[in-house]
Amino acid sequence: MVDFHCLMIKKKYIEHRGEKRIRLIFSYDEDLIQKVRGIPCAKWSQTLRSWHVPDTSISEKALQRIIRGELKSVSDSPVYLDIFTKKLHLTFYANDSDIEFVKSFMYYAWVKSKKVWRIPNFGQNIATVRAYFGKRLIEVDHRDEEFFEATQELEVLRRSRAVLGQTPEYAASYLEEFKKWMRVRRYSESSVKSYEKAVRVLLTYLSPKKPESIENQDLIDFVHGYLIVNGYSHSYQNQIINAAKLFFREVLHTDLEVEKLERPRPHYKLPNVLSREEVRSLLEPIRNVKHKTALSLIYACGLRRSELLNLRIRDIDSDRHLLIVRQSKGNRDRLIPISDNVISVLREYYRIYRPKKYLFEGVKAGKPYSAASLDQVLKSACKRSGIEKPVTLHWLRHSYATHLLESGTDLRYIQELLGHKSSRTTEIYTHVSEKSLQKIRTPFDDLFKNN
C-alpha cells in the first residue's frame, strides 16, 4: 500500500551556502523525517526551517523510493555503492548493524569530507557487499570512466599482490600473543594498535606461508613488492620494520635477521611554524570558552594533542604554577611552567564548565574530549581568522618551541619542556627561528658596501 502522506513532500531546487540542494517541504511526521534522514548528506536547516538534500541523482532516486512508499523503515533505506578501480564507496543512513558490517572489512575507513565509508575493491568484497545489502543496494560503476588511467596501475597491483585478501585464520593467535606481549611491556594502546596492524598486513601479504617459515628474503620481497610499489611513506616503512623486528624476535623467537632489512634514508622536514601575530589572530576571534582555552593551552605549554586530551583536573598545580604531563610519549612525565595569565584562563574555563575528571570533556561527563572535535575546532578557527595555511594542532606546539628559542630560552630547557628524549630533535627549531636566521648577513650585501 502506498504511504500517501509521503506524496505531500514538495521539492524546491535551491542554492544553499554555495551548494545546489533540494529543499523538502512537508508536514511534521517523525517516521517521514527518519526516512529523509536516510538520504545521504540530508541536513536540517534552522534558517530555512526545512530539510534539504544534495541536488543529485542519488537524492532524486531516494526521494522517489520514499514517495512510492517503497521505503518502510530505516532498515529498508537505500545503500549507494560507488565502484571504483581500487576502492568502493558506501553511503547509507548511519545505523549500528550496517556500520558493524563495514568495519568487518580490512582497511575500511570513514571519509568525513565525502560522508562515505570506503573499503578496498579486491577479492570478494563487491560480492560480499551485494549479498549483505541485497535489494537496498543502488550501484554506480565508475570503472569504465577511469579505465584508461588505471590499466597500468591494476597490472602493478596484481604483480605486487597489493590487493590483500582477508587475514588468514591462523594469524589470529599470533597477533593476540603479540598484543599480549606489548601490553605486558606497557606499550601505549596506540602503539599496540599500530604494531598489530603492521604485522597483520605482513602476514596477510605473505600468506599462505606460516610465520615460522618466513625468511629474510620474504621480508625483502614484502618491502619492495608492497611498500615501495604502492608508494607508502618513509615512516610507515619504518613502522612495519619495527613491528616485524619485535614480532619475530620476541614472540616467535626466530633467527630472522630483521635488522638487516633496508630502512628508508632519513627524511628530514622542517617544522611548520606560525608567527606570533598569526597565533594571536587565530585565538582572538574564538568565542567558545572551551575551544579557546584548549587551543590556548596547546600553544602556551607546547602540548601534543593526546597530552591535552588526557589532562586531568589534578594535573594543574596553580599554587606552584605548574602543569603536569603524565606518561606521555615514551612513558615519561614532565613539568611545564604556566603563567598567571594561563591560570586565569583556566579558572574562568573551570568556573563555566565544571569538568568532572578530565580537564576537557566531551558530551558525556567524565569522558575526554574527542580528537576529531578538537581538529574541527582548529579548522573553524583558521577559517574565521582568514589563515589559509593547512594548520594542524602540532603547528601550535612547533610555534611554542620556536618562539621560546627566539625569546632566548636555552635549547636544553626547551628539550625538557617538549619532552624530547634527544637534543637532536629539539635542535631542528634552530632552522626555523627568525631571530637566528635574521642575524645571517648575505655576502651579496658586501658587494655594494663601498658604493
| Active-site position among 226, 349, 358, 429 | 429
CB distance 349 to 283 below 8 Å: no
Query: Does the annotation count 420 as an active-site position?
Result: yes
What contacts 418, CB < 8 A, 6 or more positions away? 302, 397, 401, 425, 426
Query: Does the annotation count 321 as an active-site position?
Result: no
CB distance 126 to 83 below 8 Å: yes
Neighbours of 3 (CB within 10 A): 17
pTM of the model: 0.54
| Active-site position among 16, 290, 304, 334 | 304
Which of 13-22, 218-227, 260-269 bottoms out in mean pLDDT, i.e. has the lowest? 260-269
pLDDT digits (tens, 9 = 90+) for 136-191: 787 777 665 444 344 444 444 433 434 455 677 888 888 999 999 999 888 888 88
| Active-site position among 43, 249, 329, 334 | 329
Rounded Cα–Cα distance for residues 413 and 436 (Å): 18
Which grid coordinates are listed for 447? 658587494
pLDDT digits (tens, 9 = 90+) for 94-143: 777 788 889 888 889 988 777 789 999 888 888 889 888 887 787 777 66
For residues 288-310, give the mean pLDDT: 91
pLDDT digits (tens, 9 = 90+) for 325-380: 887 777 788 888 888 899 999 999 999 989 889 999 887 888 888 888 888 889 88
| Active-site position among 21, 291, 397, 398 | 397
Query: Does the annotation count 304 as an active-site position?
Result: yes
From the centroid of its chain, how far is CA 367? 20
Rounded Cα–Cα distance for residues 271 and 382 (Å): 18
Look at residue 311 in the predicted model and tell me its pLDDT. Answer: 92
From the centroid of its chain, how far is CA 273? 21
Rounded Cα–Cα distance for residues 55 and 66 (Å): 16
Query: Does the annotation count 52 as an active-site position?
Result: no
